Chain A
Amino acid sequence: MLFTDSLFIFGLILLFLLYFLIPQKYRWMLLLAASIAFYAYSGWTNLLYIAATAVSTFFITRKIEKMAGAAKDEVSAHKSEWSRDEKKAFKERAKKKRRRWLTLLLIFNFGMLAVIKYGAFTMQNVNSIIGWFGEHGTLPVPNFLLPMGISFYLFQTMGYAIDVYREKYPCEKNFGRLALFVSFFPQLIQGPISRYDDLAKGLYAGNGFDAERVQLGVQRILWGYFKKVALADRILPAVTLLISDPEQYQGMYALLGMLYYTLQLYADFTGGIDITIGIGQVLGIPIAENFQRPFFSKNITEYWRRWHITLGTWFKDYLFYPISVAQPMLKLSKWSREKLGKNIGKYLPVYVSTIVVWFVTGLWHGAAWNFIVWGLMNAVIILISERCTPLYSRFHKKFAWSNTHAYDGFQAIRTTLMMGCLRMFDCYRDVPLTFKMFGTMFYKWNVHVFWDGSLMQLKLTAADYGVLLAGTVILFIASLLGRKGSVRKRIWDRSRVLSCCMTVTLLLIVLIFGAYGIGYDSSQFIYNQF
């Protein structure tokens, strides 16, 4: 089911009404029922996958917590008998045992993901290798239908399991409540990837109706629909056209495709997240922000702190740091300091960890080489930027004009363009083709397309361009205003009537300027495939 299905919208309105009418203690159960229904709509068999994750996580985290408790008790019981070293050794052994259970859980769940999402990709490549040796690579290539949201809910749940192992918080003892955490429906389509301790604050609270919260939540939902339906869906046919025929659409067309895709991805993804967070807000469930004005970033490192934030922090907490402090990495660090000198040696582990994380990040986005190359290129640019930091500092110290707002603006535009170029891997889905199309931007100098009417041949009318332009300006202004805090909140505080007017206005804008219905192809959110 999509956010833009009329069934979803009706269901959501019904859910909101029921949620506030039923007694508080049943509210989380209603959410669980809604989440199951939402998921089942995509196919009953898909429920088995998410159930497997929920069940395995529930039992194993409880086991781990019990084992930790038992170990503590054991140590307490022998407090006076055991020496410090003995206690340490015992704790290490107990932790190892718990780690094995965690590893089992991770292998089971990530294994499921690996097979379903990456099985075909792996077998295709294996067949290619076999082909090298002259044989025909005819190993079977599996073809699984990807259960909706598996990349999101799986990461979210495994994060919870790792946190329980790390004894960050006690595990959830109620299976229903854990199931809700795993399957909370607004997050299933495209995240964000929440942390249990954050989400649990509101998820089970069954918060009651609050006019301000509900109004602001509804406004956020409508704002998300505006971005998604009026902007992303509107520019989609142009993006599809430009990318579908690389032979015809080169040079400036490739640039246009890149820019249009940038707008489309931003509007689509942030719009969907707005809807998700807005739903949470109405229900009194705070959900983590996933975007923070990413196109205001001055460099790539900052960009990745502002774009798809929860994915970045997940990889940082559960992949980057563990790798960085793992024994093999510490050994590598020692070895490289000895063999390659202090300078390189100090940084090698960080670089290796970074590359690994970005390799996996690329892979997370899709089971194809273009995603992996995209991830690795991000890593390379980040590492180069990192190395050049002293250079940049000197640059900024030397030239005063490099500390002005104008220069900030230049940096933001530069970063946006650079990320757009990287995103071309996502467009063309083929590594050599992407490089080729990127190259055509420089040698195929067909700038006339900007003024000879070619822009009107891209399935966009003058009216469409008008809406897109106005929409982009509105987004920009909203982002500028948003730097000081929530715009909706400020309007509410100023005047309730004005706030109500804004809600009605947003609704009208979505319905009137939305690119939906006959004549528009309703698209799924781009991140729906995850």
Chain B
Amino acid sequence: MANKKVLFSGLAMVLTAGVLLAAYQRLVQPKYMSDVVEGNLIADYYNSGKDHDVLFIGDCECYENFSPVKLWEQYGISSYIRGSAQQLIWQSYYLLEDTLRYEKPKVVVFNVLSMKYGEPQNEAYNRMSIEGMKWSGAKINNIKASMTEEESALSYVFPVLRYHSRWSELTADDFRYYFGAEPNFFSGYYLRADAKAAENVPNPTPLTDYAFSDTCWDYLGKMMQLCAENHIQLVLVKAPSLYPFWYDEWDQQITDYASKYHLPYLNFLNEDKLEATGIDFETDTYDGGLHLNVYGAEKLADWFGGYLTEKFDLQDRSHEPQLQAEWNDICARYHAEVDRQLQNLEQYGNVKGEA
């Protein structure tokens, strides 16, 4: 009898502590609604219909340079950009693994810039690329591969261990979005409607070593294999971002690799591609050439959609009712967002609407 009472009290204490900590954890976890919105990208995928013919994976050059809405409206291609800030190649691989638990796209488009990072880089970016994932073997492997020296796996299982001290930094957002973030993206696309011409783009500083690390080659190989096993076409791209520098020596290595394994590789920085897509770095970028704005992204999607349709026989699915319903909503929000940002630009001089 006494034993039962003790056991019950013990369990009650553990449960109470657990519930309170979970509630606290939710409060202090960053909501990514105001400042660094990119933090919500990964989690956003699970709200989608999970019926996409094209999946983009990669870093900010992915989620800011291609417009899925344009792909849909022009070609009836349902696509999702599973991108995140400074997404490393192994993170892309594990996100692909994760996505394949839910659906099987026909084409996977991978932006090759992340080949330059052979080692874990930054804890904050790791958090943004990994925390939003639902728990799976892929997430566990992702954590193991990405952790910097100062990180601990336990803090990914219990994020309260990482964010516990945010009680002194809580903002209104932490309360407003306690039960969940509001959608901020459009099938994984981050929209900017402002423009800042690219000027004074600096001379690239030469490197002492252009070789990509073995880790990156391994993961590229794994990605290729995973796609092959699932009968998915892998397409390598280099998005038209003027910075960070994409060296000719790097480009050559990817070209050789693609040639060896019969993978399509499109470098959108090449003159012919820039001409074909019509991208103009005076009007089509919002940050001086690093990322395209919505106009540039639509131009790129316009061309790319045609390429994908032609090369891989993608069907126009705009008449399918379920997809229609989903995409009508996305497109409506997208166009409303463009309008909102343009209005803010006129009124306040910035897209956020800050005075």
Chain A residues proximal to chain B, CB less than 8 Å = 6, 209, 211, 461-463, 466, 496, 500, 503-504, 507-508, 511-520
Q: How far is the CB of B70 from chain A (nearest CB, A)?
A: 39
Q: Which residue of A lies closest to B9 (CB)?
A: A500
Give the residue among B2, B24, B162, B168 with the most A Cβ atoms within 10 A: B168
- 11 CB contacts below 8 A, A to B, read A463-B167, A463-B168, A500-B12, A503-B13, A511-B160, A512-B24, A512-B164, A512-B165, A515-B165, A518-B151, A518-B162
Complex: A528 Cα to B74 Cα, angstroms: 68
Chain B residues with Cβ below 8 Å from A462 are 168
Q: How far is the CB of A212 from chain B (nearest CB, A)?
A: 10
With A6-B152, A511-B160 as contacts: A517 and B13 at CB distance below 8 Å: no
Q: Does B6 contact A (CB under 8 A)?
A: yes
- 5 A-B pairs with least C-beta separation: A463-B168, A211-B6, A504-B17, A512-B164, A500-B13
Known interface pairs A462-B168, A518-B123; 9 further A-B residue pairs with C-beta atoms within 8 A, sorted by A's residue number: A463-B167, A466-B168, A503-B13, A504-B20, A508-B17, A511-B160, A512-B24, A517-B155, A518-B162
The 8 A CB mask of B194-227 against A (1 = contact, 0 = none) is 0000000000000000000000000000000000
Complex: A298 Cα to B2 Cα, angstroms: 46
Chain B residues with Cβ below 8 Å from A516 are 161
Q: Does B150 contact A (CB under 8 A)?
A: yes
> Inter-chain contact count A-B, CB under 8 Å?
51
B21 touches A517 (CB 8 A): no
A461 touches B168 (CB 8 A): yes
Chain B residues with Cβ below 8 Å from A211 are 2, 6, 9
The 8 A CB mask of B290-312 against A (1 = contact, 0 = none) is 00000000000000000000000
Q: Does B259 contact A (CB under 8 A)?
A: no
Q: Does B16 contact A (CB under 8 A)?
A: yes
Q: How far is the CB of A134 from chain B (nearest CB, A)?
A: 49
A517 touches B24 (CB 8 A): no
Chain B residues with Cβ below 8 Å from A507 are 17
Give the residue among B2, B9, B150 with the most A Cβ atoms within 10 A: B9
Complex: A2 Cα to B227 Cα, angstroms: 46
Q: How far is the CB of A502 from chain B (nearest CB, A)?
A: 10
Q: How far is the CB of A91 from chain B (nearest CB, A)?
A: 55
With A211-B6, A496-B9 as contacts: A517 and B162 at CB distance below 8 Å: yes
Q: Does B355 contact A (CB under 8 A)?
A: no
With A6-B154, A511-B160 as contacts: A517 and B12 at CB distance below 8 Å: no
With A496-B9, A503-B13 as contacts: A519 and B20 at CB distance below 8 Å: no
B residues 138-164 near A (Cβ < 8 Å) are 150-152, 154-155, 160-162, 164
Q: How far is the CB of B160 from chain A (nearest CB, A)?
A: 7
Complex: A513 Cα to B21 Cα, angstroms: 12
Complex: A211 Cα to B10 Cα, angstroms: 9
Chain A residues with Cβ below 8 Å from B6 are 209, 211
Complex: A6 Cα to B165 Cα, angstroms: 18
Chain B residues with Cβ below 8 Å from A466 are 168
Chain A residues with Cβ below 8 Å from B160 are 511
With A511-B21, A518-B151 as contacts: A504 and B16 at CB distance below 8 Å: yes
A512 touches B167 (CB 8 A): yes
Chain A residues with Cβ below 8 Å from B165 are 512-513, 515, 517, 519-520
Chain A residues with Cβ below 8 Å from B24 are 508, 512
Q: How far is the CB of A428 from chain B (nearest CB, A)?
A: 29
A508 touches B13 (CB 8 A): no
Q: How far is the CB of B15 from chain A (nearest CB, A)?
A: 10
Complex: A211 Cα to B16 Cα, angstroms: 18
B residues 105-159 near A (Cβ < 8 Å) are 123, 150-152, 154-155
Q: Which residue of A lies closest to B148 (CB)?
A: A518
Complex: A512 Cα to B21 Cα, angstroms: 9
Chain B residues with Cβ below 8 Å from A504 are 13, 16-17, 20
Chain B residues with Cβ below 8 Å from A461 are 168
Complex: A515 Cα to B123 Cα, angstroms: 18
Chain B residues with Cβ below 8 Å from A6 are 152, 154
A508 touches B12 (CB 8 A): no
With A496-B9, A500-B9 as contacts: A514 and B168 at CB distance below 8 Å: no
Chain B residues with Cβ below 8 Å from A513 are 164-165
Chain A residues with Cβ below 8 Å from B21 are 508, 511
Q: How far is the CB of B18 from chain A (nearest CB, A)?
A: 10
Complex: A209 Cα to B3 Cα, angstroms: 10
Chain A residues with Cβ below 8 Å from B155 are 517-518
Chain A residues with Cβ below 8 Å from B152 are 6, 517
Q: Which residue of B lies closest to A519 (CB)?
A: B165
Complex: A511 Cα to B160 Cα, angstroms: 8
A518 touches B17 (CB 8 A): no
Complex: A319 Cα to B179 Cα, angstroms: 65
A508 touches B123 (CB 8 A): no
Q: Which residue of B lies closest to A500 (CB)?
A: B13
Q: How far is the CB of B129 from chain A (nearest CB, A)?
A: 16
Complex: A508 Cα to B154 Cα, angstroms: 17
Q: How far is the CB of B305 from chain A (nearest CB, A)?
A: 42
Complex: A513 Cα to B160 Cα, angstroms: 11
